[in-house]
Copies of this chain bind each other. A is one copy, B any other.
């Protein structure tokens, strides 16, 4: 397997872009990524586009073809990928594979999503699935996990709220984040109850946005500066060992083990982590799966400010899904954008000092009980 480097990233601000289309947003991110990499559209030899809800909301297909066409790329393979919340990171995984396998020299990944539309409603597994028909939508699945974690490990609602407080504080420092106003634990707990124990500020917002990453073989990258190495990119799919074990995503643990093995890097080597925090409990569970603390101690980790910028292992310095926003197809790509920005020492006010190794983690899939996908990328300079 050839080694793979990231030579450019691009991202538009996440938030409301009601006047823009998926293609328009995706093309701007692609343009920014290519410009950052200093490469021409004609140099790109494989393209991957990620989106989850363009079909459901707008009836769109082959969006990637239109995005890449708009920035002047044609005649190369274009793959449109959907993997729920891991759509963007799955596209990154495929691009990584294409270069590692020697099938492409320079790959462009774009993720885009447009969720600020009244048609969205509650995210679910599809109207024809029985989980949806029984009321098992995404938020209720995470809520069950939160309540179980509180029962098993004594995690408190204040610790859950602290995840939202921390990620908002981080988001304040990120000019591309959707929400940049600070909140307190009291604000979080006093906001509207969505599904017990989650108040509104513990749930990620709907967002529009797009992000891009340019990957290359060392052959291409050699001529460029500001290179970031991809030490591992893995994708695992579910299921649980035991569906009753609501505080242990088996896929998450397996992906972490695989990524650390492939990279020859352990959790103790990480300088920063972007992880999938659509609801506060998710970040706590993922911290445990990634080995950043002992199982059951994710609540304590955030309470002690260890995951705050300046702490032992800053998590979601971008603001995470809770504050940067969560346009599904773009999220996994935006996580890579964030890690790369820190490794290149370009993160400004939110820069993690001496950042040399970062990890981006995403989890997707829409059912509470069975199939999930987990992606992890480990990057370094």
What residues make up the interface of A, taking CB atoms closer than 8 Å to B? 1, 21-23, 47, 52-56, 58-63, 65-66, 68-69, 74-84, 90, 93-94, 97-98, 100-103, 124-129, 235-239, 251, 254, 364-367, 370-373
Per the bound structure, the CA–CA distance linking A121 and B103 in Å amounts to: 39
Given contacts A79-B90, A97-B98, contact A58 B126 (CB under 8 A): yes
The 8 closest A-B pairs by CB, nearest first: A55-B55, A101-B101, A60-B126, A65-B371, A77-B235, A55-B56, A74-B239, A78-B237
Contact, CB under 8 Å: B65 / A82: no
Contact, CB under 8 Å: A79 / B81: yes
Per the bound structure, the CA–CA distance linking A299 and B90 in Å amounts to: 43
Given contacts A56-B55, A94-B94, contact A65 B101 (CB under 8 A): no
Contacting residue for A80 out of B23, B82, B93, B127, CB 8 A? B82
Per the bound structure, the CA–CA distance linking A63 and B1 in Å amounts to: 30
Per the bound structure, the CA–CA distance linking A61 and B367 in Å amounts to: 11
Given contacts A77-B237, A98-B97, contact A59 B103 (CB under 8 A): no
> Which B residues touch A55, using CB under 8 A?
52-56, 82
Best-surrounded residue of A128, A235, A367 (most CB of chain B within 10 A): A128
Per the bound structure, the CA–CA distance linking A53 and B128 in Å amounts to: 14
Q: Other than the known A56-B56, A68-B237, A77-B235, what 20 A-B pairs have Cβ atoms closer than 8 Å?
A: A23-B129, A56-B61, A58-B127, A58-B128, A59-B124, A60-B126, A62-B125, A62-B364, A65-B365, A66-B367, A66-B370, A68-B371, A74-B239, A74-B371, A75-B237, A75-B238, A76-B236, A77-B93, A81-B82, A97-B103
Per the bound structure, the CA–CA distance linking A365 and B83 in Å amounts to: 21
The residue of chain B having its C-beta at the shortest distance from the C-beta of A67 within the complex is B371
30 residue pairs of the A-B complex, CB under 8 angstroms, read A47-B237, A53-B55, A53-B61, A54-B126, A56-B59, A56-B60, A58-B126, A58-B127, A60-B126, A60-B128, A61-B126, A61-B366, A62-B83, A62-B365, A65-B237, A65-B238, A65-B365, A65-B372, A68-B371, A69-B238, A69-B370, A74-B239, A75-B236, A76-B236, A78-B237, A78-B373, A80-B82, A97-B98, A97-B103, A101-B101
